[in-house]
């Protein structure tokens, strides 16, 4: 009989915590979880899933326009924000129940409340103290606002999902995933969207060709994209907000959204007092098995600020449970993690950008194609897709694949398998395309881009 109430106490019922708790339970561990908000975490409750539903909803605007070229006559389309939000909330409610039951079906005890650490083996939920042999911190992260006067007037992605009314004019600050995804969402729903990005080009860290191609495509969809521009302060003017910009101009809008990054949720957890090391951003510092500086305390997901993507958190949680409770030591592999930005058009990417590949491998071959998708020829939409392969010249191995265009996320998932398996450019060339698709371009690019 263990000296503790539980073998594992998980702080946070998001993707990483749920997977870890469920798998540990499957190995026979006595598991508890505390969640202060809603089961499912950022991804299910106020991230990936509701975002994707809004992307689907807003994309109809483009589909209605495209339909005309194919012979359809439609009435004037009307969009109702309240219906969209209610439909989204209904689905999120359903998923939340599933997440909670995943835990409960695995025999875990659920605590609805905020958990803090009293000592290395004691968790407090309100006044209730419970003890556990191992503790997993999977408390996620939260959006941050820039430090400017009037920052409290900004919404973040958290609020954007629950606005009572659709803002007719919105400024979105940032040039990363969240900024570009919400720019497409609000633009599709008919809001006037301005994106302010402080740097030279959006999507820092992505392949340069992807960055410039996407920027051009976003502008074509009607988004007012302003790079090298930031905001200096925001003030209220009646029901509207006035945004002052670094170029000295100002604009009046209905909402200003900060999409300027996220920070790990470690404040007030009691980590410092028990010696759990955090970095300058507040992330729990962990080793390859997700173990913190305190032997029995582990952390997975956004709270560790490694790669802040749901499937990565799930993998980290699974590896943790296999290692600690399954007697199968396994560390998550953070190499060649594919990702998509669900902008409109979307981006899909896996492996190295051309710039990073040159730094790491020296000599690389680059294959690139840009084309008007078949559908756009008849719809008349002014749109171009772009694909790119980066190949290690010495070994012929494909080390990066990137795309801007419809279904980029769906397409890159398959390409990521090939890259993970170490496929060479010759393997790509030997693969027969599926015609007519955009994806087939990935196996038909033959001409190297001249250096």
Nearer to ligand NDP, 200 or 363 (CB): 200
Select from 94-102, 206-214, 256-264, 353-361 the region that touches ligand NDP (CB under 6 A). Answer: 256-264
Does residue 179 belong to the site contacting ligand NDP (CB under 6 A)? yes
Does residue 184 belong to the site contacting ligand NDP (CB under 6 A)? no
Select from 177-185, 276-284, 349-357, 419-427 the region that touches ligand NDP (CB under 6 A). Answer: 177-185
**Alpha-carbon gap, residue 187 to 155, rounded angstroms:** 17
Does residue 124 belong to the site contacting ligand NDP (CB under 6 A)? no
Does residue 49 belong to the site contacting ligand NDP (CB under 6 A)? no
Which of 122, 187, 265, 308 contacts ligand NDP by CB under 6 A?
308
Does residue 146 belong to the site contacting ligand NDP (CB under 6 A)? yes
CB of 109 to ligand NDP, least distance (A): 30
What is the end-to-end Cα distance of the chain in Å, rounded?
67
**Alpha-carbon gap, residue 211 to 203, rounded angstroms:** 6
**Which are the contacts of 64, defined by CB distance < 8 A and separation ≥ 6?**
74, 77
Site string for ligand NDP, 224-243 (x = CB under 6 A): ------x-------------
> Which residues face 448 on adjacent strands?
367
Nearer to ligand NDP, 245 or 449 (CB): 245
Nearer to ligand NDP, 25 or 351 (CB): 351
Which of 26, 261, 270, 282 contacts ligand NDP by CB under 6 A?
261
Does residue 110 belong to the site contacting ligand NDP (CB under 6 A)? no
CB 30 within 8 A of CB 6: yes
Q: Scanning residues 324 to 363, which ones bind ligand NDP (CB under 6 A)?
A: 339-342
Nearer to ligand NDP, 302 or 392 (CB): 302
CB 253 within 8 A of CB 170: yes
CB of 16 to ligand NDP, least distance (A): 14
Which active-site residues does the annotation give?
Answer: 435
Which of 97, 128, 162, 204 contacts ligand NDP by CB under 6 A?
204
Does residue 260 belong to the site contacting ligand NDP (CB under 6 A)? yes
Nearer to ligand NDP, 197 or 442 (CB): 197
Measure the CA angle with vertex 185, ends 234 and 412; round to 5°: 125
CB of 259 to ligand NDP, least distance (A): 5
Count of residues of this chain found to bind ligand NDP when the rule CB under 6 A is applied: 24
Contact residues: ligand NDP, CB under 6 A: 146, 173-179, 181, 197-199, 204, 230, 259-262, 308-309, 339-342
């Amino acid at each position: 009989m263990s000296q503790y109430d539980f073998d594992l106490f998980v702080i946070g019922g998001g993707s990483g915590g749920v997977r870890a708790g469920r798998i540990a339970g499957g190995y026979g561990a006595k598991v508890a979880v505390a969640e202060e908000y809603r089961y499912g975490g950022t991804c299910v409750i106020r991230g990936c899933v509701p975002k994707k539903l809004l992307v689907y909803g807003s994309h109809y605007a483009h589909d209605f326009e495209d339909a005309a070229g194919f012979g359809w006559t439609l009435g004037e389309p009307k969009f109702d924000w309240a219906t969209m939000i209610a439909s989204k909330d209904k689905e999120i409610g359903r998923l939340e129940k599933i997440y909670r039951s995943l835990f409960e079906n695995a025999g875990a005890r659920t605590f609805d409340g905020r958990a803090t650490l009293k000592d290395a083996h004691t968790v407090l939920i309100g006044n209730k103290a419970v003890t556990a042999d191992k503790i997993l911190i999977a408390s996620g992260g939260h959006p941050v606002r820039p430090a400017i006067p009037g920052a409290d007037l900004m919404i973040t992605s958290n609020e954007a999902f629950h606005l009572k009314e659709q803002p007719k004019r919105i400024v979105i600050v940032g040039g990363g995933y969240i900024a570009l995804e919400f720019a497409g969402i609000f633009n599709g729903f008919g809001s006037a969207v301005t994106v302010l990005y402080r740097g030279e080009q959006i999507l820092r860290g992505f392949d340069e060709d992807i960055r410039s191609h996407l920027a051009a495509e976003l502008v074509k969809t009607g988004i007012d994209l302003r790079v090298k521009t930031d905001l200096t302060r925001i003030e209220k003017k009646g029901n509207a907000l006035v945004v002052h910009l670094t170029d000295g101009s100002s604009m009046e809008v209905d909402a200003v959204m900060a999409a300027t990054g996220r920070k790990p949720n470690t404040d007030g957890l009691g980590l410092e007092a028990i010696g759990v090391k955090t970095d300058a951003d507040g992330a729990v510092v962990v080793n390859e098995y997700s173990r913190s500086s305190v032997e029995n305390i582990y952390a997975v997901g956004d709270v560790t600020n490694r790669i802040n993507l749901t499937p990565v958190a799930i993998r980290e949680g699974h590896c943790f449970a296999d290692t600690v409770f399954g007697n199968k030591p396994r560390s998550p592999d953070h190499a060649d993690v594919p990702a998509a930005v669900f902008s409109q058009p979307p981006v899909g990417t896996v492996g190295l950008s051309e710039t990073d590949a040159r730094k790491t491998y020296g000599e690389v071959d680059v294959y690139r194609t840009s084309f008007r998708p078949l559908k756009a020829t008849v719809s008349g939409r002014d749109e171009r897709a772009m694909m790119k392969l980066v190949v290690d010249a010495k070994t012929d191995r494909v080390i990066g694949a990137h795309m801007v265009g419809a279904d980029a996320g769906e397409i890159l998932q398959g390409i990521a398998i090939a890259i993970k398996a170490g496929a060479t450019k010759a393997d790509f060339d030997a693969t027969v395309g599926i015609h007519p698709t955009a994806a087939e371009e990935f196996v038909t690019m033959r001409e190297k881009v001249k250096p």
